[in-house]
Amino acid sequence: MVNTFHNEVMECTDWEKVYGPNGKHVGNLITRLSKLEWYSAIEKQDGKDKIEQAIHEFQSYFGIEKFKIRWITKDELSSLLNGVVLETLSMWTRLEQIRNEIKAQAEEAGRETFLSRVVDDVSEMVFHPSFDQAFCMFEKCGESTVKLVSSVTTYMIVLACAWETIADLGSWKINPFYFLFEAFEHGHCPIGLIDKQFYLL
């Protein structure tokens, strides 16, 4: 299924028909997504300075309280996540609000069908390869860690692409999830804000 979808992405020439009035920009982001090498730079130095700058831009856009950026290893991840439920953290609560705001704006603009297509397609495109690679890299850390890394990846990237479906409208023209997308493009993985520290792999 993933390979079939990947081929469809590469062959698509009418993004607006598939993903709506801003479909070309959605398509550009999906094309970049199709070239990602999942988690290839974890525990390496590749692009760290640029990623930290992007994370601060993300912080600035949403007015999130000041935090320190902390890079962690695979071994540190399990202990960090012990007992943590991401859905109860303030950052993840805010991301859920943003998801609902995107949905409301898409409905108001008559783009709910396009948004639904983006969410379904991108979820399919991201989840399977990211889970497979997370399993290869984090199997020793336990099943819960593998699922969390893959779920965080899928959620953040789906939000980035979903935002782009309405990024030609009013106050939505700056897509802050591009800043997080950069981390994935460089082979890293943002985990998010926990106890005033933003964790990255």
pLDDT at residue 185, rounded to an integer? 93
**Contact (Cβ atoms closer than 8 angstroms) between residue 190 and residue 156:** yes
Total count of residues recorded for the chain: 201
pLDDT at residue 1, rounded to an integer? 44
**Contact (Cβ atoms closer than 8 angstroms) between residue 164 and residue 22:** yes
Q: How many angstroms separate the CA atoms of 113 and 10, rounded?
A: 22
- Digit-coded pLDDT (tens) for 44-66: 887 889 999 999 998 888 877 77
Full-model pTM: 0.89
pLDDT at residue 10, rounded to an integer? 47
pLDDT at residue 143, rounded to an integer? 86
Q: In which residue ranges of the chain is pLDDT below 70?
A: 1-13, 83-88
Q: How many angstroms separate the CA atoms of 125 and 194, rounded?
A: 28
Q: Which ranges of the chain does DSSP label H, i.e. alpha helix?
A: 2-11, 15-19, 23-34, 48-62, 74-81, 90-108, 112-138, 143-164, 177-185
